[in-house]
Amino acid sequence: MSLSATVPARPSLASRILHATPILGHIARDISRDISTIFYVLMIVVTLIVLSVQTWGLAALVLTAVGFVPVMFALLIWVTLP
């Protein structure tokens, strides 16, 4: 029996911090158990955006788009990597 078979792998610091946050940790644990949970999370986010646009109008849509700019830049850089 080898020692590596009995010692569990230690999670990284980023993983421990993510799982320790109240809302994001709960969602991350659910996604790690069942990947289809991500679709429920996406539907909740889309619903929140729709409700905020209905409540506050175009300003909520513009702020949402401005918030996604860094995400799109990172996605475009990731796609163009060799």
pLDDT tens for residues 27-52?
888 888 888 888 988 999 999 999 99
The one-letter amino acid code at 44 reads: I
pLDDT tens for residues 44-80?
999 999 999 999 999 999 999 999 999 999 999 999 9
Q: What residue segments make up the domains of the chain, in order of their start? A: 11-80
Cβ neighbors of 18 (< 8 A, separation 6 or more) are 24, 25, 28
Q: Are the CB atoms for 31 and 37 separated by under 8 Å?
A: yes
What pTM was computed for the model?
0.64
